[in-house]
Structure 1
Amino acid sequence: MEREIPRNVRQIGNISGGPKIYVEDYVDTFFGQISDQTEEIRGAFLIGEMEDKEHPDYIYITGAIQMYELKRDGNTFQITEETWKNAYEDCKRYFGNATIVGWFVSAPGIPAEINDEVIRTHENAFPNTYSIFVMRDLREKEDYFYVNKFNDLMKVSGYYIYYEKNPAMQNYMIASRRKNGLTISESVEDRAAKSFRNLIRTKGELEDQKQSIHFMRIASSFLILVMLVMGITMINNYDKIQSVQKSLEALTESAQSEQEAKRVSVDRTPSVGLKKELEENAVEKKEINKEDAAAKSGEKTTEEKTKQEASDWKEGAAEELEEGSQGDIYVVRKGDTLLSISRKVYGTDENIASICKINGLKENDFIYVGQKLLLP
């Protein structure tokens, strides 16, 4: 059964090519502990696994065992038989039948670079292809990984640190602290579990944020939909309002047209009086002609008749006039017009405006029989 690729990982450097190296977080912590303890040279065997030893895609470093007898000769290192013996015993005690896949070195004063002596030491101790060599730069506190490929140690540009429960490495770290004579006030912190929990919590927060964003997107979409519906409704209502407004305008225009027709009708009414005036003028002309004929025949002239009619009218008019609070009152008779009344009462056409003004009329307004007019 193939090992499942870790999901909770932290990338260090740039990952390119293969194989991909995964270092468990307890192992990375152990590298830091043994390097910070002293300024002396420190080393460790790497415990790990490869699914395909000939062409592995992934190399997992799951544990580390400290080299207590690691020696240095100039710029190279010596791994003694006693060192190997103690390493095998610790590996079996804490990691069972696990495989040693490489080694780690932290050496003060030595550049974190490999040389021919280091390559030869590695080939003698770890001849297998894809074995691992890790060297720590104490000044930068960075680890440099190398893989044995093509009969050479090839530098790896990046690797992964992954987090999971690792009780075997945790127990070994506690034991190694006792062996190094360090005071232990409490057991080694379950850093992997804590980191894992932190990652899970972070993921949970991210999920909550995603859910919030998703909810906000849904709410925004719903709001946009509501606004669209409201906009369409407003457009429809606007069309209805426009239709009602047009209907009102049509009704207003119709009412105005009717009012205008009535006004025109009223304006035309006085034309009857004008017609009568024309007829009277024609009658006067006839009277003049008659006067001429009467003069010849010895009858009374029109002027004499007019004087007689005026005298008769005054006598009749005296009966029709009444005393009003503001002056005389004239009762309209059949055939009367404002013009004829002005002529009858004042003997001139110039008092029409005065009669209209005192009675609140216009010169062309219609008057009716029995209507009482104030006379100025």
Structure 2
Amino acid sequence: MIEIMSQLNGQEKLKLPKNIRQIGLPEEKRKIYVEDYVVTYMNQLASEYSNRQSAAILLGFHAKQEDMQLTFINGAVGIPAAEVEEDQISFRSDLWEDIYSTMRKYFSNSEIVGWFLTRPGKSLGINEKITKIHVDQFPGNNKTLFLMDPLDREEAFFIYENGKLTRQQGYYIYYERNEDMQNYMVENRKGRGSEEVFEAAALNKPVNAPNYTKRKEKPKKKHRGPVLAGTVAAAMALVVVGMALANRLYLPDRLKMVSGGAKEEPLTIEVVEGAIEANNPAEKPLETFEDKKSSEDVAEPAVNVTATKRYTVRKGDTLVNISLGLYDDRDYVDIICEMNGIEDPDVIYEGMVLELP
């Protein structure tokens, strides 16, 4: 959780989140932190409208620590699809009224820090239309723009400074208990059950993430639809504890902890069939082909199929980030080494296929 550590010379000092994932190569003097549920929500928008543009308002706050400019994004409010056209958004007064009403309801402690826009099948470059929207609707330095191409699976952050939108080389995803965003996602995802929303968000959580705490149920809020209360509670517990396999909707194929700034791709586990054993090996052996041919009905014995999990090493991988990405625990490095006969855990190569516990 982001919190105030102390007050020095009249300036508040932030305690930066520890449970983070680095995407690309963030700037040294300017860092952007995006909470995981916000990332999940943006990728849901991109997935639902993969053939047209979608947009959202980004919420959070700005801070400065020593010589670093920090931007924290902890919320997002979707803009209705009807208002989004070709690199244009109709920001009428009634749209802003709806946005501010939603902010008061769910994100009362946040301010507008920028906006999000998808450009399916297009470049992530800035054109005059996009620049005009940013300057007119999100004035001031440090306001962010997050562009995403859901087809080519590319994305980029931009920050407005010195009269232009400047592309950033990377950012951080951080994990914390974010009830405001959870509540907004559950109550505003039309056509999706709350279990689906939480499951999609949970897929991006590292297992046993230390910052998670079980959320308290608020009795005054009731879930709509035919979902049983027990099922909803179980789904919410699943999200808050965080069962992360490899990733999210659209991002399931992208995010991976890497070193060296390679493009983010997923930790993909391949499950393959293994040995086949008869349930009762001591029983009568199988009939020969001739015996089977002469019989009209031959009962085949039941079999057990074991499975093996495999992972193909990609550029920039290390055993440490593979272990952390899949199990949130570096102790699995020794187990993976033993299973694959690796003597030096620092020496693996691209294309190498690892068996996993």
- TM-score w.r.t. length of structure 1: 0.50
CA contact (8 A) 2:121 2:151 kept: no
- Contact 1:72 1:78 (C-alpha < 8 Å) held by counterparts: yes
Q: What is the deviation of 1:49?
A: 0.9
2-structure distance, mates of 1:208, 1:61? 32
**Separation (CA, whole Å) in 1 of partners of 2:128 and 2:200:** 39
Deviations 1:273-295 (A, max 9, x none): xxxxxxxxxxxxxxxxxxxxxxx
Taking the aligned partners of 1:63 and 1:207, their CA distance within structure 2 comes to 34
Q: Distance in 1 between matches of 2:153 and 2:164?
A: 25
Give 1:172 deviation, angstroms: 0.6
Partner of 1:358: none
Distance 1:74 1:206 in 2: 46
Q: Within 5 A, what are the aligned runs for 1:192-341?
A: 195-198=205-208, 202=324, 205-206=329-330
- For residues 70 and 109 of structure 1, the distance between their equivalents in structure 2, rounded to whole angstroms, comes to 20
Q: Identify unmatched segments of 5+ residues in structure 2.
A: 5-12, 211-322, 335-357
Q: Is the 8 Å Cα contact of residues 69 and 82 (structure 1) preserved in structure 2? A: no
- Show the 5 A alignment for 1:124-163: 124-163=136-175
TM-superposition CA deviations, 1:65-110 (whole Å, max 9, x none)? 1011663554444322222111111111111131011000113354
Alignment partners' CA distance in 1, 2:151 and 2:112? 28
- Structure 2 residue aligned with 1:14: 25
Which residue of structure 2 lines up, in the alignment, with residue 359 of structure 1? none
Tell me the equivalent position of 1:224: none
Q: Deviations over 1:229-253 (max 9, x none)?
A: xxxxxxxxxxxxxxxxxxxxxxxxx
- Distance in 2 of aligned mates of 1:61 and 1:23: 5
Opposite residue 139 of structure 2, the aligned amino acid is: P
Q: Relative to 1, partners in 2 of residues 1:8 and 1:79: Cα closer, same or farther, differing over 3 Å?
A: same
Aligned residue in 2 for 1:62: 74
Deviations 1:324-355 (A, max 9, x none): xxxxxxxxxxxxxxxxxxxxxxxxxxxxxxxx
Q: Which amino acid aligns with 1:206?
A: R
Residues 121 and 152, structure 2, Cα contact 8 Å, conserved in 1 = no
The 3-state SS of whatever aligns with 1:51 is strand
Give the Cα separation in 2 of the matches to 1:209 and 1:157. 30
Q: Secondary structure at the match of 1:188?
A: helix
* Structure showing greater relative contact order (alpha-carbon pairs closer than 8 Å, 6 or more residues apart): 2
C-alpha distance 81-183 of structure 1, shift in aligned 2 (>3 A): same
CA RMSD of aligned residues (A): 3.1
> 1-side partners of 2:333 and 2:167: how far apart?
40
Q: Is the 8 A contact 2:53 2:85 kept in 1?
A: no
Quote the offset at 1:113 in angstroms: 1.7
**Does the residue aligned with 1:90 lie in a helix, a strand or coil?**
helix
* 1:181 alignment partner, SS class: coil
Give the distance between the partners of 2:68 and 2:82, measured in 1 at CA: 29
2:58 alignment partner AA: L
Q: Which residue of 2 aligns with 1:44?
A: 56
Whichever residue aligns with residue 22 of structure 2, its letter is: Q
Compared with structure 1, are the counterparts of its residues 82 and 10 closer, same or farther at alpha carbon in structure 2 (3 Å cutoff)? same
Matches within 5 A, 1:105-184: 105-177=117-189, 180-184=190-194
In structure 2, relative to structure 1, the CA distance for the partners of 1:193 and 1:29 (3 Å cut) is closer
The worse-fitting range, judged by mean Cα deviation, of 25-34 and 106-115 is 106-115
Deviation at 1:174, TM superposition (A): 0.7
Number of residue equivalences: 209
Cα distance, 1:4–1:58 mapped onto 2, change above 3 Å: same
- Aligned-pair distance for 1:184? 4.5
In the alignment, the residues of structure 2 paired with residue 198 and residue 104 of structure 1 have an alpha-carbon distance, to the nearest angstrom, of: 30
Secondary structure (helix, strand or coil) at the match of 1:195 reads: coil
| Matched-pair contact (CA < 8 Å) for 1:69–1:79 | no
Seen in structure 2, the aligned counterparts of structure 1 residues 114 and 78 have a Cα distance that, compared at 3 Å, is: farther
- Secondary structure of 1:23 counterpart: strand
8 Å contact from structure 1 (residues 103, 133) kept in 2: yes
